[in-house]
Structure formats: C-alpha cells, structure tokens
Amino acid sequence: MLNHIRPAITLVVAMTALTGLAYPLAVNGIAQAVMPSGANGSLIERDGTVVGSALIGQTFTSDRYFWPRPSATGPDPYNAAASSGSNLGTTSVKLKERVIADVARLTKTGIVQPVPADAVTASGSGLDPHISPAFARAQIKRVAQARGLETAAVASLVAQQTANPTFGVIGQERVNVLELNLALDAL
C-alpha cells in the first residue's frame, strides 16, 4: 500500500493541473477568442441594455406580451440564478391544484379547453425559453387586443417566429418567447 502513495498523490496533483486548470482554461481561451457571443451566454441587447439571453426564458405577465410556461424556480419564477423543476409526481395533489388554477386563469383570457400541455406545466429547468406553437396561437387574440393590433398581424408574427425541426426531423416546433416579444415591440 505504501508504495502506492507517491504515485497516487503526484498523479492527483498533476491531473488536477492538467484536466482541472489547463483543459478548462484552454477551452475558455479558444471560446472567448473565436465564439464570444455563445461563450458569454447568448445575450440579447436592445438600445445598449442587456434584456436577457436568447436561451433563457423570462417572466411575462402583461397582456401585451406572450406568456411563457409556468416556472418552478424559487423564490420567483424564471430565476436564472437557481434553476429548478417542480419535481412533483403525476399523482401529486399540489400539481393537480396548481394546474386547475392555471387552466382557470387561461380560460378567463379566452383560451379554450383543452389547453396545450406546455401552457400549464412547469418545465424541467424552470427556464424554458420556448412554448409550443399551439400555446402561442392561443394567446394571439389577447395580445392583439391589448396592443390594439390586427389579429392577423400578430398571427403572422407568430408564424414567422415559429422554428421548425431541422430537416423536418431534428428538434421540435417551438416559439422563443423573448424573441417573439422583442419582435412584437418592434412592430
């Protein structure tokens, strides 16, 4: 056992230097030099202010904006410094009560039942930037009314902002809520 101590200690130290410092710092250097936008969080700026990240969802509660999915992060939804899912099981009474309340809230805004599943379920990360095209379409009337816009204009914007799977296979049909709302503000 004793003759193993020297190689054990030297290799832990040497490998820490190699794989724990040299490797991540080298990747860091290349990433920052070649791909700074992605390496720094795919941030979106408007008029010189960072308004969010293209990859991270954020809260929208106003009728003038499209709403994202429910988020289970604490203490506030879409807390991008503490990601979390609800982790509630299918038979959880808390889950059922939360969904009943959300379905009722959405029904009041004119969304007809059955509501799209993503509209009332919390994502795994609590930071899902996307919603389904069905949930986006269901919100068109409300947003158009709040902004005094033609329904057709908002509908065409939603269609424009809907991303399709690559080659029709890889990925899901989805709408990035922040990008859709930015486009809406730019109308």
Partner 1 sequence: MTLVGWLQISLLFLAVLLVIKPLGLYMARVFSGERTFLSPVLGRMERDLYRVSGISPEKEQSWLGYTLAMLTFSLAGFLALYAMLRLQAYLPLNPQGFPGLPSDLAFNTAVSFVTNTNWQNYGGETTMSHFSQMAGLTVQNFLSAATGMALAVAVTRALARSKVPTLGNFWVDMTRATLYVLLPLAIVVALAFVAMGLPQTLDGSVTATTLEGANQVISLGPVASQEAIKQLGTNGGGFFNVNAAHPFENPSAWSNYLNIFAMLSISSALVYAFGQMVGNRRQGWALISAMAVLLITGVAVTYWAESQGNTILTAIGVDPALGNMEGKEARFGQAMTALYAAVTTGLSDGGVNGMHGSFTGFGGLVPMFLIQLGEVLPGGVGSGLYGMLIFAILSVFVAGLMVGRTPEFLGKKIEGREMKFAMLAVLILPLAILGFTAVSAMLPFAVASVGTAGPHGLSEILYAYTSAAGNNGSAFGGLSGNTPWYNTTLGIAMLLGRFAYVVPVMAIAGSLAAKVKSPASAGTFPTDGPLFVGLLIGIILILGGLQFLPALVLGPIVEHFAMLAGQTF
Site string for partner 1, 138-157 (x = CB under 8 A): --------------------
User: Which of 105, 160, 164, 185 lies at the binding interface for partner 1 (CB under 8 A)?
Assistant: 185
Bridge-based pairing of strands 162-163 and 174-176 is antiparallel
User: Which of 67, 105, 125, 149 lies at the binding interface for partner 1 (CB under 8 A)?
Assistant: 125
Binding residues for partner 1 restricted to 49-108, rule: CB under 8 A: 49-62, 65, 69, 78-96, 99-100, 103, 107
Residues 6+ apart with CB under 8 A from 44: 50, 51, 52, 53, 54, 178, 179, 182
Binding residues for partner 1 restricted to 5-34, rule: CB under 8 A: 5-12, 14-16, 18-21, 23-24, 26-28, 30-32
Bridge-based pairing of strands 174-176 and 43-46 is unpaired
The C-alpha angle with vertex 128 and arms to 55 and 41, in degrees rounded to 5, equals 20
d(CA 112, CA 90): 23
User: Which of 71, 120, 144, 157 lies at the binding interface for partner 1 (CB under 8 A)?
Assistant: 120
- The helix-helix angle for 177-186 and 133-147 (nearest 10°) equals 30
d(CA 159, CA 80): 28
Binding residues for partner 1 restricted to 164-183, rule: CB under 8 A: 165-166, 168-172, 174, 178, 181-182
Given the structure tokens 């990601």, which residue do they identify?
A: 83
**Minimum gap (Å) between residue 7 Cβ and partner 1:** 4
Q: Based on CB atoms, which residue is closest to partner 1, 84 or 109?
A: 84
Q: Based on CB atoms, which residue is closest to partner 1, 97 or 152?
A: 97
